[in-house]
Amino acid sequence: MSSTSILQPAIHHGQVQRRRQAQPLSLTSRQLRSVSRGSASRRALLEARWRDTLERITALSIAYHDAAQLAPSARRGTRGARSRRVRRLARQAVAERQVLAEIEAAMERITAGRYGWCEQCGRVIASALLAVTPQVRYCATCNSEEVQAV
C-alpha cells in the first residue's frame, strides 16, 4: 500500500489509532473472473443459510413468546427456571439475528461487487476462508488483528 493512502481514525479503549482505508489491489482478469464465479455460488449458499437462519429465528421467537406467557403465571418455586429459559431464548434469538444481518451484508457486498475483498486492507479474502464462512468481512490477517485488539 502506498504511503499516500488515506488514513481514518479508529478509537480503541479511549486512544485514537490510525487504520489504512481499504484500497483494492490490482488483479489480473483471470483472478477477477475467479472471484466473480465464486460469488454466484457463494450467493446461493448465503441464500440457503439466510433461509435456515430465518427459520431458527422464527422457532426461537415462538418459543420465547410461549415461555414469556407462562413465566408470569408460574408458581413461586418454578418462576426462576422459566425466566432463565426466557432470557436464554432471547439471547439465542439476538445471536441468530446478528448472523442474519451478517449474511444480508454479504449478499449486499455481492450485489455491489465488493464480495471477497477485505473491508479493512482491500486484499482478496482466501477462497478457503470464504468456503467455511461465506459472510466473512475480513481476510485472515485483518481478522486476527481485530481479535487481538479486543
Give the pLDDT confidence of 33-75 residue by residue, as tens digits: 555 556 778 889 999 999 999 999 999 999 999 988 876 554 5
Q: Give the start-to-end residue ranges of the domains of the chain.
A: 7-149
Burial class of residue 103 (count of CB atoms within 10 Å of its CB; 0-12, 13-18, 19+): buried
pLDDT at 21: 42
State pLDDT tens for residues 2-38.
333 333 333 344 443 444 444 444 445 555 555 555 6
Q: Mention every residue, 6+ apart, whose C-beta is less than 8 A from residue 61.
A: 93
Reported pTM: 0.65
Element (H, E) at 96: helix 76-112
Which range among 44-53, 74-83, 117-126 shows the weakest confidence by mean pLDDT?
Answer: 74-83
Task: Return left, alpha or beta for 13; rule: phi > 0 is left, psi -120 to 50 is alpha, else beta.
Answer: left
Q: Which residue has the cell 483494492?
A: 24
Is domain 7-149 annotated with CATH 3.40.50.720?
no
Q: How far apart are CA 123 and CA 19, in angstroms?
A: 15
Q: Residue 117: CB partners within 8 Å, gap ≥ 6?
A: 22, 24, 109, 123, 124, 125
- Enter the C-alpha cell of residue 10: 479508529
Instruction: Compute CA distances 117 → 22, 87, 92, 93, whole Å.
Output: 9, 37, 30, 29
